[in-house]
Amino acid sequence: MKSFAVAFKSVYEIGLMKYGFKKIKGSRPYYVRCVGDEIVHVIAVQDAFTPKQGSTGIFYKAFWIVFGVATVYRKEIELNVLPKDNQLWLNKLSDICYMEHYCSKYDRKACDEIIPHLFEYHGADEDAMVEVIRKSFELTEKYALPVLDHITTLEECLKHFFKYNPIAISIKDASDRYIQGEVGGKYNEGLVCTLVYGGDRIKEYENAWIKVYQEANEDELYYMNAGMSGITIEEHSKNETECEKKRKDRLILFDMLTSTPECQEKIHRELQQRKHNNIEILRNCGLEV
């Protein structure tokens, strides 16, 4: 029986090639497209678990398709780890359903009817495996590629992060340790915000975070009212107060990073070094940048 890795590569490598994606060197299942010398689009496959069992007792197997964007201005673009280790900036294909408003984020059934949360196949059925892989590619082509195609500038990258992964652009503090990437995670793209929203655009930055907190508040209220969270009204009110404080603190930090000449100089040096290092990483993966 053909292995999953071989079957997957035969579908995705050829299918994504015409869109400018290339399988990176090595065994990691990343397909990457470089946009200029600052942005990369990523599509990958991640193993998943399913308890589903066939009539003969053989368990089904499952996988997720994940996708995302990165810039050369994060501390390190880590393509030498498994996709599950990059889950703070890679999203499951099914996330598109509610992020792009194809259905309500609270209606899991409706989402599954558009894009399955899991792609499953009988572990001993090669034809079924290949068919599911092909189906996943069709959905990737239909839903993920249009999202990625739109992201060609740093500003569009940040809009994507605000919508899909705000934690990836969360500024932890204004210290040298944060600027140098020693805190916040290698995936953190917070400093990119200083390139786009500095100066007279700080209000746009503030409004983007207000929207993030509003959506988080709506989610908490929904699950609380549905009896699915265990959070009390008092706890919810406390969370709202804490979030408002975080939002204001974040704005103060951002203003400090973008208005202080000393910080700006440190950020500029750091970002240029990161760009150099990440371009080398991408080239070592066999990509042209």
Looking at the fold, whether 270 and 231 belong to one and the same domain comes out as: yes
| CA dihedral (34, 40, 41, 43) positive or negative | positive
pLDDT at 228: 85
Per the domain annotation, does 286 fall within a domain? no
Looking at the fold, whether 255 and 274 belong to one and the same domain comes out as: yes
Looking at the fold, whether 137 and 258 belong to one and the same domain comes out as: no
pLDDT at 258: 94
Looking at the fold, whether 178 and 126 belong to one and the same domain comes out as: no
Looking at the fold, whether 170 and 133 belong to one and the same domain comes out as: no
Looking at the fold, whether 269 and 145 belong to one and the same domain comes out as: no
Looking at the fold, whether 131 and 247 belong to one and the same domain comes out as: no
pLDDT one digit per residue (tens) for the chain, 289 residues: 789 999 999 999 999 999 999 999 999 999 999 999 999 999 999 999 999 887 777 889 999 999 999 999 999 999 999 999 999 999 999 999 989 989 888 888 899 999 998 999 998 899 999 999 999 999 999 999 999 999 999 999 999 999 999 999 999 888 999 999 998 899 999 999 999 998 899 999 999 999 999 999 999 998 988 888 888 989 999 999 999 998 899 899 999 999 999 999 999 999 999 999 999 999 999 999 9
Domain end position, chosen among 102, 130, 152: 152
Strand 22-23, strand 91-92: pairing: unpaired
Q: What angle do CA 47, 53, 56 make, to 5 degrees?
A: 125
Dihedrals phi, psi of 69, to nearest 5 degrees: -130, 155
Number of domains in the chain: 2
- The alpha-helical segments, DSSP class H, found in the chain are 4-17, 96-99, 108-114, 126-139, 145-149, 154-164, 176-179, 192-196, 202-225, 233-259, 261-284
pLDDT at 19: 98
Nearest to 30 by CA among 82, 103, 70, 107: 82
Domain end position, chosen among 96, 119, 152: 152
Looking at the fold, whether 76 and 134 belong to one and the same domain comes out as: yes
Reported for 93-96, long-range contacts at CB under 8 A and 24+ positions apart, including other chains, are: 93/64, 93/65, 93/66, 93/67, 93/136, 93/139, 93/140, 93/143, 93/144, 94/64, 95/164, 96/143, 96/144, 96/147
| pTM score, whole prediction | 0.94
Q: Helix, strand, coil: what percent of the chain each, to 5?
A: 55, 15, 30
Per the domain annotation, does 40 fall within a domain? yes
Which residue segment(s) compose the domain that 195 sits in? Answer: 157-281
Looking at the fold, whether 99 and 167 belong to one and the same domain comes out as: no
Looking at the fold, whether 201 and 145 belong to one and the same domain comes out as: no
Looking at the fold, whether 77 and 94 belong to one and the same domain comes out as: yes
CB atoms within 10 A of CB 218: 12
Domain end position, chosen among 93, 117, 152: 152
Looking at the fold, whether 111 and 174 belong to one and the same domain comes out as: no
The answer to whether 39 and 278 have CB atoms below 8 angstroms apart is no
The answer to whether 125 and 174 have CB atoms below 8 angstroms apart is no
